Amino acid sequence: MAEHRKGPLTGVRVVELTTAWAGPYAGQLLAHLGAESIRVESTRRLCVTRTAGPMADRVPGPDRAGYYGEYNQGKRSVQIDLSRPEGAELVKRLVAISDIVIENFAPGVVERWGLGYEDLRRVKPDIIMVSLSGHGRKGPLSHYVSYGPYLVALSGFSTMTGYPGWEQPMHVGMSYPDPNGGWHGAYAALVALWHRKRTGQGQYVDLSQWEAAVALLGDAVVAYSMTGHQPERLANRDPMMCPHGIFRCAPAQDGLPEGLLPEDRWLSIACASDAEWRALCRVIGKPEMAEDPRFATFEARKAHEDEVERAVEEWTATQEPYEATRKLQAAGVAAYPVHSNKDVAEDPHLNARNFFSLKEHPVVGVRKHTGIPWRMSGTPCEVWRAAPTLGQDNEYVFCRLLGLSREELESLQSSGVIS
């Protein structure tokens, strides 16, 4: 197969001993930068992203899974049963010709397979290995079971996020500590690669996804240390802007996908200055509010925030979200529709930017996926192919890269090592 990888990391090879979301997300970021990321998988231990979530045309199958397709774009896939010593040997041979290993199994798992950092540096002394785990490798809870949503609770997010007067801890909408761990893990791998290119020295990175999540709440940590209490739950309000929130729009007319409610349509608005407030008042047809001393300044609006929000929503309730966005943006007020997944896929701006990747997949054909969220002028990046089917690159990796003969490959396949 012709190689079309592009980007600043062309020539860098990554081995992914990853599962679920955080590790594969980190691996995909490196693949997006042009690295050859090889994901080690097995039929015996199928990744949850191949078994859960959306399936192409609602027909289940490990090669039909949208969750896997979304976070393994541009990677290679090989099948290795890691619990077999012969399987671990194959991984070591692969690591010997690679630069970076990303793993996110529970602490102790890769060591049990004989694939810990000490094992791998023996076959590749300058290897860079990044372990992403829930709690980090050191400390009394390091062996506790962790999932992304559990870290939302542990990090403080669930008690800081919430509607006013709502006592129950809130989730944040998605398993935020996972992609966040992926970003932080990819960054660590790149810093280590920079260091290795300059000094020849590899290293091991122990990254705690819990700590990486708290890194997004550093202000609350510092605030608690200042005051002895944590910042109040603000819901959709903001300490510096008013109005600032999510406002209900006019009900949708028709043609809604199944399960959607017509009245479930919303617009985000944020007013950062008194001038923007005055502009907003004109757009919503309430110019008298701009002059009213109860609302003229930020402090005054904050003191009457319920009234401010009611006035805004009286207007948005008559508006279609994009139309309202155009009117407010034309007046210099920050606004954007609250997008569902369908709205994101159909967003005119993202489509005009050619953001999405539309690559042919051998089983499910062309499916729209989110693309690379950065552009580089000197080393343009591009998703070079869709996510792989399970074991799609067995032959390339084992025969071309590792030099196994066809017979050896077949024998490892029939003995279940490659399966």
Partner 1 sequence: MAVPALAGVRVVECGGMAAAAYAGKLLADMGAEVIKVEEPEGDPARRWGPFPDEGPHPERSALFLYLNQNKKGITLDLRQPRGQELLSRLVAHADVLVHNFPAPEMAARGLEYERLAAANPGLVMASISPFGLSGPHKDYKAHDINVMAAGGWVWLNGVTGRPDMAPLKPYGPQTEYQSGLAAAVAVMGALIWRLDTGRGQHIEVSGQEVVSTELEFVFPFWPYEERVPVRWGHRIVAPWDYFRCQDGWVFIICVEEHQWQRLVELMGDPEWAHWEVFGNRLLRGQNYDALKPFLDEWFAQWKVDDLYRAAQEKRIPLGPALDMPGLFASQHLQERDFFVEVDHPVAGRLSYPASPYRFLSETPAVPPGPAPTLGQHNREVYCGLLGLPEAELDNLRQEGVV
Q: Which is nearer to partner 1, 206 or 307 (CB)?
A: 206
Residue 405 interacting with partner 1 (CB under 8 A): no
Residue 317 interacting with partner 1 (CB under 8 A): no
Cα–Cα distance list, 218 to 56, 159, 227, 236, 367 (Å): 40, 15, 14, 19, 38
Residue 296 interacting with partner 1 (CB under 8 A): no
Q: What is the DSSP letter of 65?
A: B
> What spatial distance separates the first Cα and last Cα of the chain, rounded to whole Å?
22
Q: Which is nearer to partner 1, 117 or 398 (CB)?
A: 117
Residue 409 interacting with partner 1 (CB under 8 A): no
Residue 266 interacting with partner 1 (CB under 8 A): yes
Active-site residue 264, yes or no? no
Q: Which is nearer to partner 1, 187 or 396 (CB)?
A: 187
Q: Least distance to partner 1 from the beta carbon of 308, Å? A: 15
Residue 159 interacting with partner 1 (CB under 8 A): yes
Residue 93 interacting with partner 1 (CB under 8 A): no
Residue 135 interacting with partner 1 (CB under 8 A): yes
The one catalytic residue among 99, 178, 206, 292: 178
Count of chain residues binding partner 1 (CB under 8 A)? 163
Sorted by sequence, the CB contacts under 8 Å of residue 386 that are 6+ apart come out as 69, 73, 357, 359, 360, 361, 367, 369
Rounded CA-CA distance 178/194 in Å is 24
Fill in the per-residue mask, 325 to 344: x = in contact with partner 1 (CB under 8 A), - = not in contact: x---x--xxxxxxxxxxxxx
3-state secondary structure of 302: helix
Residue 73's CB is within 10 A of a number of other CB atoms, namely: 24
Residue 348 interacting with partner 1 (CB under 8 A): yes
Residue 95 interacting with partner 1 (CB under 8 A): no
Confirm if 29 and 75 have CB atoms less than 8 A apart: no
Among 13, 124, 367, 385, binds partner 1 (CB under 8 A): 367
Q: Least distance to partner 1 from the beta carbon of 312, Å? A: 12
Fill in the per-residue mask, 209 to 248: x = in contact with partner 1 (CB under 8 A), - = not in contact: -xxx-xxxxxxxxxxxxxx-xxx-xxxx-xxxx--xxxxx
Q: Which is nearer to partner 1, 93 or 195 (CB)?
A: 195
Q: Which is nearer to partner 1, 156 or 388 (CB)?
A: 156
Rounded CA-CA distance 95/361 in Å is 27
Q: Least distance to partner 1 from the beta carbon of 418, Å? A: 26
Cα–Cα distance list, 265 to 53, 93, 261, 281, 284 (Å): 24, 54, 8, 22, 18
In this chain, which stretch among 78-86, 202-210, 282-290, 403-411 interacts with partner 1, using CB under 8 A? 202-210
In this chain, which stretch among 143-151, 280-288, 300-308, 390-398 interacts with partner 1, using CB under 8 A? 143-151
3-state secondary structure of 78: strand
Here the tokens at position 237 are 């309000």
Residue 31 interacting with partner 1 (CB under 8 A): no
Among 37, 98, 146, 419, binds partner 1 (CB under 8 A): 146
Residue 97 interacting with partner 1 (CB under 8 A): no
Q: What is the DSSP letter of 91?
A: H
Rounded CA-CA distance 251/134 in Å is 42
Residue 275 interacting with partner 1 (CB under 8 A): no
Residue 416 interacting with partner 1 (CB under 8 A): no
Residue type at position 104: N
Rounded CA-CA distance 134/144 in Å is 8
Exposed e or buried b per residue across 106-116, where buried means at least 16 C-beta atoms within 10 angstroms of its C-beta: bbebbeebbbb
Rounded CA-CA distance 372/383 in Å is 7
Residue 114 interacting with partner 1 (CB under 8 A): no
Q: Which is nearer to partner 1, 40 or 364 (CB)?
A: 364
Sorted by sequence, the CB contacts under 8 Å of residue 406 that are 6+ apart come out as 399
Residue 61 interacting with partner 1 (CB under 8 A): no
In this chain, which stretch among 81-89, 201-209, 388-396, 410-418 interacts with partner 1, using CB under 8 A? 201-209
Q: Which is nearer to partner 1, 2 or 198 (CB)?
A: 198
Residue 170 interacting with partner 1 (CB under 8 A): yes
Dihedral pair phi/psi, residue 133, rounded to 5°: -135, 165
Cα–Cα distance list, 144 to 47, 123, 140, 151, 175 (Å): 20, 30, 9, 12, 18
Residue 142 interacting with partner 1 (CB under 8 A): yes
Residue 268 interacting with partner 1 (CB under 8 A): yes
Among 44, 45, 53, 410, binds partner 1 (CB under 8 A): 53
Q: Angle at Cα 330 formed by Cα 324 and Cα 336, nearest 5°? A: 45
Catalytic residues: 178
